[in-house]
């Protein structure tokens, strides 16, 4: 349970950093980042695998590059589901935000996961 909570907090921190880095993405404080992290996790866990399955032919045709667009779609969907806690100005910001969030989240988890391994 503690590991799940730590992952959620690190994801919320990643969303806060994302909103700080990109002017087209807005979060209503750390509480909003917690909501956004929860919604993004929900979308990535339940909706994204289904979308990956139905878009597999186009993904193969584009040699995997369509997954970048799919990540942007998932982040835009998280914007819709999160309400006022998390807002993205347009799909361009969602596309860029998905790429940056992936990098920031990986970095945050790398930095903070060192202290949790024992």
Residue 4: inside a domain = no
Tell me, yes or no, if the pTM score tops 0.75. yes
Reported as a single tens digit per residue, the pLDDT across 48-88 is 999 999 999 999 999 999 999 999 999 999 999 999 999 99
Alpha carbon distances (Å) from 30 to 7, 85, 97: 15, 9, 18
Question: For the CA atoms of 84, 88, 91, 96, what is the dihedral angle to 10 degrees?
Answer: -140
Residue 56 sits in which domain range?
A: 11-116
In a domain, 97, yes or no: yes
Give a yes or no: residue 6 inside a domain: no
Q: Is the residue at 21 inside a domain?
A: yes
- Number of domains observed in the structure of the chain: 1
- Quote the percentage of the chain above a pLDDT of 90: 84
How would you label 73-111 residue by residue, b for 16+ Cβ within 10 Å and e otherwise? bbbbbbbebbeebbbbeeeebbbbbbebbeebbeebbee
Residue 20 forms part of a structural domain: yes
């Amino acid at each position: 349970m503690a590991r799940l909570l730590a992952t959620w907090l690190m994801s919320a921190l990643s969303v806060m950093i994302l909103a700080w880095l990109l002017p087209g993405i807005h979060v209503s404080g750390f509480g909003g980042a917690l909501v956004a992290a929860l919604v993004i996790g929900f979308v990535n866990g339940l909706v994204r695998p289904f979308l990956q399955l139905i878009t597999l032919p186009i993904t193969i045709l584009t040699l995997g590059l369509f997954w970048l667009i799919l990540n942007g779609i998932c982040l835009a969907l998280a914007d819709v589901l999160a309400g006022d806690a998390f807002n993205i100005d347009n799909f361009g910001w969602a596309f860029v935000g998905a790429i940056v969030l992936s990098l920031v989240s990986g970095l945050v988890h790398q930095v903070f996961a060192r202290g949790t391994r024992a």
